[in-house]
Structure 1
Amino acid sequence: MKVVTAIIKPFKLNDVHNALFAIGVSGMTVYEAKGHGHQKGHSEIYGAVEYVAYFIPKLCIEVIVTPELVTSVVRAIMLAARTGQSGDGKIYVTSLDELYKIRTGETGPGAL
């Protein structure tokens, strides 16, 4: 099993969700996150005061899939989340040693 984790811009969540649903991914977990990459935050002016936001709001999405689906999932997320601007996010894939479904006690792919 593999865990595909994507850090994306919040307004792209619906596009990513629809793209994953279209390829047969039925579940995902979404976390609110804050961070920065090369852009190192941004500054805004409220009234006469400049406010520097070093950590930009992002969403972190986790999807657990079989190894056969990893390429399709990564491709779907990339296409759906891309704006072409700095800060589009990152995707990383990690191995998952064990998976258990709490309700039934199933393990492995059957636990998805």
Structure 2
Amino acid sequence: MKEIKAFIRPERLNLVAKNLKKEQYCCFTVFQGEGVGDYTDPKTEFPSLNFPFLHNKVIKIEIVCNKDDVDKIINVIKTHARTGDKGDGLIYVSNVESKTRIRDGK
């Protein structure tokens, strides 16, 4: 199994989520956060009460999937999260050693 973490622009979330569901990838987690890196978008940078520096809002999507689905999921995210501007985001893929459903322990 694999875990995909995608950091995207907030305004692209609905389009990415809609198309992941359309491709039968219904189950994922979404987090709202603030990112700081080499690039800050001059149109959206702002000071934060929580963080005393300039940064951008970011959405993180996490999906655990079968190894065979990784390329297709990445393609859906890249296609629908891309604006073509610097700061569109990043995608990471990691190995998942195991998973256990809390409800029944399986």
- TM-score between both structures, scaled by the size of structure 2: 0.85
* Equivalent position of 1:10 in the other structure: 10
- TM-score between both structures, scaled by the size of structure 1: 0.81
- Runs of 5+ in structure 2 lacking a partner? 48-52
CA-to-partner distance for each residue in 1:65-87, whole Å, 9 max, x for gaps?
00000000000000010000111
Give the SS at the match of 2:38: coil
Distance in structure 1 (CA, Å) of the matches to 2:6 and 2:23: 16
Give the SS at the match of 1:85: coil
| Bigger-Rg structure (1/2) | 1
Q: What count of residue pairs does the alignment treat as equivalent?
A: 100
Is the CA contact (8 Å cut-off) linking 2:40 and 2:87 kept in structure 1?
no
- Runs of 5+ in structure 1 lacking a partner? 45-50, 107-112
* Equivalent position of 1:30 in the other structure: 30
Compute the RMSD of aligned alpha carbons: 1.8
Taking only the aligned residue pairs, the percentage that are identical comes to 30
* Equivalent position of 1:61 in the other structure: 61
* Equivalent position of 1:72 in the other structure: 72
CA-to-partner distance for each residue in 1:63-108, whole Å, 9 max, x for gaps?
11000000000000000100001110000100000101011211xx
Residues 99 and 30 of structure 1, relative CA distance in 2, 3 Å threshold? same
Distance in structure 2 (CA, Å) of the matches to 1:73 and 1:37: 25
Would you identify which runs of 4 or more consecutive aligned residues in structure 1 move more than 4 Å?
none
Code of the aligned partner of 2:80: A
Is the CA contact (8 Å cut-off) linking 1:37 and 1:87 kept in structure 2?
no
Q: Judging by fraction of residues, say which structure has more strand.
A: 1
* Equivalent position of 1:102 in the other structure: 102
Distance in structure 1 (CA, Å) of the matches to 2:91 and 2:43: 26
Of structures 1 and 2, the one scoring higher in RCO (CA 8 A, sep 6+) is: 2
Distance in structure 2 (CA, Å) of the matches to 1:24 and 1:36: 32
